[in-house]
Structure 1
Amino acid sequence: MPATILQPARAEPPAFLCIGHISHDVLPDGSFALGGTVTFASLTVEHLGLPAALVTCAAADLCQQLPDLLPGIGLAVRVASTTTTFENRYQDGFRIQYLRSRSDVLESGDIPPAWRTAPIVLLAPLAQELTPEMVALFPRGEGRILAATPQGWLRRWDADGRVWPTPWEAAERVLPQLDALILSQDDLLPFAHGSRAEAEAILRRWSQLVPLLVATAGRQGATLFRQGQAQHFPAYPAHELDPTGAGDVFAAAFLVHLARSGDPAASVDFANCVASFSVEAVGTQGIPTPSQVEERLAQRRDRGGP
């Protein structure tokens, strides 16, 4: 049975549609936090003033809670036997991630026809739940931005659920169909022998296939690639408390500003600013309001920054 609309979007079609697994993230005390790119991205979009919607699948208990957890956000959800669940363990400063359960693969029939014309669409896989063919549902065109955050296409897992990096085999098929790709440079380090220079070479090569590519690097800021040419933007100072979801917040903020301004460079700087707030509180609590963002942007301008 395809997904059903649990909660309508504030506009039809929504201004921003995000597709991928919503997740449960296991906390150290054994409780769960709501996670997944679709969660952080859609909440960011709503905070920035655009109507957002998401398409996902999850177990019945979580589906029942989503309208209260994500008020105002359009929800098209297919009830599945389980919710995608991740557990992070830290050893000697390194994160070891486990996929404890995985929900169903999302299909074209899960996307409400009225939402397919959303001006901004973000494909946001967490655990290989979106096939490359999903991209073809949203042909590129004037007035539309089709983007992806590919972390879920760069993951595999073993019989114990431990997550390992895997090459994105479909990259050269998918990238020419996108308007923008947003990812963390760290996601490519396993395929670059741990070398940032080699990871950047991969990014430059991919940027020949997609109009806009943005690679984030945490406290080092973000880099915009266009046709192999790189432009770096410094991060905004922040008192880091919890980096979870910062890349997802960045991606959503970049796309919102790009749709409004048409300026990729200004959009990277804007997204850096929005993401700087997100690390200063736990989970989604750090997603800022437009007035907070404008104040921090003005502070940098007053200091003569970019």
Structure 2
Amino acid sequence: MFNQKQLEPVDYLAVGHVTLDITPQGLVPGGTVLYSALTARALGLRVGIVTTCDEAYPIPEFEGIAITGFPSEKTTTFENIYTPEGRIQVLHQTADQIQFQAVPEIWRQTPIVHLGPVAREVDPTLARSFSESTVCVTPQGFMRAWDMAGQVTASEWPEADFVLQNSTAAVLSIEDINGDEDRIEEFLRSIRVLAITEGEEGARIYWNGDVRRFPAPRVKEVDSTGAGDIFAACFFAKYFATRDPWIAGRFAVQLASCSVTRRGIDSIPTEYEITMASTEILDAEQRT
């Protein structure tokens, strides 16, 4: 493993590739696991990341987040190209798949395990490998394909039933499934708690055959990068704490909306924003 430091137990474990993102400002670190881990840390949780990347990749060091895994010849690298017809996403290279053996023994009973693939890198069998954990998934990376030039498109997800049946909660964007409502109904046959994010419209939460919509407050959007990952971490953490998806959905929408007003990892929720979102929940509960 490329992290030789003594590891301690964590509350929130994120599994997936840390990435390099090619931007007009240069190469910047990214990936679902990075944004979700930083968010979980902001929520007061002890956080671990299991990943794989080139040993030369300068993984940022953040107090309160331990990162470990096996080295790979490459680091997963994305580029988003914006055109008048919409965004083109290019996957330039990918790191190795992440197997259960990469997870340190001390982290195998972590309370919250977040499977956050970006390029099909998480072994689907990990969904049933954490028998003592609340396993949560953001399946975006399971539903991506790319051609020889690296251009990314939406794809089928053959392992969907298996992964969802072995998970407690899932979060995905309506864009991940190209607005296909039939796929939502298909997923709901395999999982009890499902959150669908809808950008500036907020999110809808499905729970045991019921659905509620949580509109997002109107804000001036600067950069939506990472907003879905921030939503997911907030949702999973609050759901674990309360076992109430409605509370978790309201909380996550508030903080994800704040995140789009800033760029990059500066979009991670602040202590003040977390306090205000918690207050919003209390006020809403009192009104009902």
Is the shorter-chain TM-score for this pair beyond 0.5, marking a shared fold?
yes
- Offset, 1:66: 2.4
**Structure 1 residues not aligned, in runs of 5+:** 190-195
Q: TM-score, normalised by structure 1?
A: 0.88
Alignment match, 1:32: 27
Paired residue for 2:59, among 37, 53, 66? 66
Asked if 1:176 corresponds to 2:165, the answer is yes
The one-letter code matched in structure 2 to 1:203 is I
Contact kept in structure 2, 1:154 and 1:166, CA below 8 Å = yes
Alignment match, 2:233: 252
Alignment CA distance shift 1:223-1:305 (3 Å): farther
Task: Name the CA distance, whole Å, in 2 between partners of 1:224 and 1:243.
Answer: 20
Task: Name the CA distance, whole Å, in 2 between partners of 1:271 and 1:72.
Answer: 21
Q: TM-score, normalised by structure 2?
A: 0.93
Task: Name the CA distance, whole Å, in 1 between partners of 2:287 and 2:18.
Answer: 37
Alignment match, 1:5: 3
Q: What do the CA deviations read for 1:229-281 (whole angstroms, capped 9, x no partner)?
A: 32111112222100001000000001111122221100000001111121111
- Offset, 1:81: 1.2
Alignment match, 1:80: 72
After superposition, residues 118-133 of structure 1 pair within 5 angstroms as: 118-133=110-125
Contact kept in structure 1, 2:225 and 2:260, CA below 8 Å = yes
The one-letter code matched in structure 1 to 2:275 is E
Which is worse superposed, 287-296 or 246-255?
Answer: 287-296
Contact kept in structure 1, 2:49 and 2:65, CA below 8 Å = yes
Asked if 1:50 corresponds to 2:39, the answer is no
Alignment match, 2:147: 158
Alignment CA distance shift 1:293-1:268 (3 Å): same
Q: What do the CA deviations read for 1:261-306 (whole angstroms, capped 9, x no partner)?
A: 221100000001111121111111021223322225546849x988
Q: What do the CA deviations read for 1:205-239 (whole angstroms, capped 9, x no partner)?
A: 31221121000001111111124432111112222
Instruction: Give the SS at the match of 1:66.
Output: coil
- Offset, 1:72: 2.2
Alignment match, 2:196: 215
Structural RMSD (CA): 2.0
- Offset, 1:71: 2.8
Q: What do the CA deviations read for 1:38-95 (whole angstroms, capped 9, x no partner)?
A: 0000000001101000000111222xx3253x33201113221111000110111511
Task: Name the CA distance, whole Å, in 2 between partners of 1:264 and 1:6.
Answer: 38
Q: What do the CA deviations read for 1:160-197 (whole angstroms, capped 9, x no partner)?
A: 111111101111122111101110011111xxxxxx4x
Instruction: Give the SS at the match of 2:13.
Output: strand
Asked if 1:134 corresponds to 2:129, the answer is no
Q: Percent identity?
A: 33
- Offset, 1:123: 0.4
Contact kept in structure 1, 2:69 and 2:103, CA below 8 Å = no
Task: Name the CA distance, whole Å, in 2 between partners of 1:146 and 1:110.
Answer: 17
Instruction: Give the SS at the match of 2:120.
Output: coil
Contact kept in structure 1, 2:254 and 2:277, CA below 8 Å = yes
Contact kept in structure 1, 2:81 and 2:87, CA below 8 Å = yes
The one-letter code matched in structure 1 to 2:49 is L
Task: Name the CA distance, whole Å, in 2 between partners of 1:8 and 1:261.
Answer: 31
**Structure 2 residues not aligned, in runs of 5+:** none
- Offset, 1:204: 2.7
Instruction: Give the SS at the match of 2:56.
Output: helix
Task: Name the CA distance, whole Å, in 2 between partners of 1:165 and 1:201.
Answer: 15
- Offset, 1:132: 1.6
The one-letter code matched in structure 2 to 1:132 is P
The one-letter code matched in structure 1 to 2:165 is P
- Offset, 1:146: 0.6
Alignment match, 2:259: 278
Instruction: Give the SS at the match of 1:61.
Output: coil
Instruction: Give the SS at the match of 2:150.
Output: coil
Alignment match, 1:146: 135
Alignment CA distance shift 1:7-1:243 (3 Å): farther
